Amino acid sequence: MKPYLALLLLALAGCSSNDTEDLDQWMKEASQNLRGQVEPVPQVQPYTPFVYNASGLLDPFNPQKLQVARRQNSASAPDLSRPRELLENFELEKLSMVGILRRNGTTYALVRTPDGAIYRVQPGNFMGTNYGLIKRITETEIELAETVEDLNGEWVQRTTSLYLLEQGQKQ
């Protein structure tokens, strides 16, 4: 076993040569011009607490703020206390004008509901779910002024019409 040990020591001694002088010289030259720069630590600013002074202001998401806006615009709001008419239970798109009727100088429109019933209406009556007030009846249309609530909670008026259903045309 001793011959193997001697052989191993001889092999290890052969691996450790001092032929690295050129490498050592290059490392010395390369490291002469290297200067590490570390930025100084920034100054710590003292903490100043923020004072919130808006606690007495009205919350922008408070429902009371919307109620104030609605009360200011109540002139165009519909009369919610009046009794609703029968045709106000149907959406306007589901109603159809099927004809007109003149009697004693008054022009009436004939309106069919989705269940097939026909009703007589005149200017001043209401129809549709958007508080549609009938303004005018002509040979071919019923002109309505609807009162709808917009995104801001304000009541606005819009004009819409219900046209005469042509013969043979589906509702």
pLDDT tens track for 50-70 = 887 877 777 777 776 666 555
pTM check: above 0.85 = no
In CATH, what number is assigned to the domain containing residue 93?
Answer: 2.30.30.830
Closest CA to 142 of 106, 110, 102, 170: 110
Tokens of 75: 């002139």
pLDDT tens track for 22-60 = 888 888 888 887 777 888 899 999 999 888 787 777 777
Tokens of 93: 């798109």
Q: Which residue has the tokens 């519909």?
A: 78
For residue 55, the model assigns a pLDDT of 73
For residue 23, the model assigns a pLDDT of 84
Cα–Cα dist 158/147, whole Å:
6
* Residue 171 is assigned to a structural domain of this protein: no
* Residue 66 is assigned to a structural domain of this protein: no
Cα–Cα dist 158/130, whole Å:
10
* Residue 107 is assigned to a structural domain of this protein: yes
* Residue 91 is assigned to a structural domain of this protein: yes
* Residue 36 is assigned to a structural domain of this protein: no
The domain in which residue 101 lies consists of: 83-163
* Residue 140 is assigned to a structural domain of this protein: yes
For residue 50, the model assigns a pLDDT of 85
For residue 12, the model assigns a pLDDT of 66
Domain count, the chain: 1
For residue 111, the model assigns a pLDDT of 95
* Residue 122 is assigned to a structural domain of this protein: yes
3-state secondary structure the chain: CHHHHHHHHHHHHHHCCCCCHHHHHHHHHHHHCCCCCCCCCCCCCCCCCCCCCCCCCCCCCCHHHHHHHHHHCHHHCCCCCCCCCHHHHCCHHHCEEEEEEEECCEEEEEEECCCCCEEEECCCCEECCCCEEEEEECCCEEEEEEEEECCCCCEEEEEEEEEECCCCCCC
Low-confidence ranges of the chain (pLDDT < 70): 1-3, 9-18, 64-74, 167-171
Cα–Cα dist 101/77, whole Å:
32
* Residue 7 is assigned to a structural domain of this protein: no
